[in-house]
Chains A and B, each alone.
Chain A
Amino acid sequence: ILNVEQSPQSLHVQEGDSTNFTCSFPSSNFYALHWYRWETAKSPEALFVMTLNGDEKKKGRISATLNTKEGYSYLYIKGSQPEDSATYLCAFKGGFSGGYNKLIFGAGTRLAVHP
């Protein structure tokens, strides 16, 4: 059974703090690692799709790194703002049949940024 783990489960930070979360996934049969940002009652929003070992991606204050050999990805938020409060989901895509495969999700990290 493929398992994707995220830590921490939840995080409370002050506005302006920088923070990071971890996603660990199977290191074999890797195809891609997806990060989503999910606010309650809204659609999960795609942040990054990462495919290559050593990949680093950035969108504004949010960045992510990928290590496929050891099976982990980090998501960083620099200078957290209250609007960053959301659940951050990572999802593993295995290489069994290509890029349109199912996603296997972690449980998410719930971030709360306090003013």
Chain B
Amino acid sequence: EPEVTQTPSHQVTQMGQEVILRCVPISNHLYFYWYRQILGQKVEFLVSFYNNEISEKSEIFDDQFSVERPDGSNFTLKIRSTKLEDSAMYFCASAKGYEQYFGPGTRLTVT
């Protein structure tokens, strides 16, 4: 069964560094999302992406964040200058119909 994959599973970075989180959505899906879960908090929406542009973004998704679908298969989330409060589990999801399918997440630890 097709699934969403994410790499790496765990990334440790120093404050101020740039990180790129990678996702491979399900191949015939058209809508892509990033969510995150800070430890002990709810899963929260970051951004949705369709037709090579952002369709919606949350207040969290400021200028430090960007998304890209560089080659028609990968979907990336870049954080330009990480902060301690960016430490979280980041989930990618993709959708063709109304169901969103999630990857296993990347745990980002900013030290």
Contact = CB atoms under 8 A, between A and B. Distances in A.
A72 to B, nearest CB: 18
A103 B100 CA distance: 9
A97 B48 CA distance: 12
Given A43-B105, A107-B41, A107-B42, 9 more contacts: A43-B3, A43-B102, A46-B99, A49-B98, A100-B48, A102-B33, A102-B45, A103-B43, A105-B43
A102 B42 contact: no
Contacts of B99: 34, 46, 49
Interface residues of B, number: 26
A99 B45 contact: no
A101 interface: yes
Contacts of A41: 104
B57 to A, nearest CB: 9
A44 interface: yes
Given A43-B3, A44-B91, A102 B102 contact: no
Dominant SS among interface residues on chain B: strand
Interface string B76-111: 000000000000000100010111111111000000
Dominant SS among interface residues on chain A: loop
B98 A32 contact: yes
Contacts of A93: 98
A43 B4 contact: yes
Nearest to B48: A102
Nearest to A51: B98
22 contacts: A4-B42, A32-B98, A34-B100, A42-B104, A43-B3, A43-B4, A43-B101, A43-B103, A43-B104, A46-B100, A49-B98, A51-B98, A91-B43, A99-B98, A100-B31, A100-B48, A100-B95, A102-B45, A102-B56, A105-B42, A105-B43, A108-B42
B18 interface: no
A93 B98 CA distance: 10
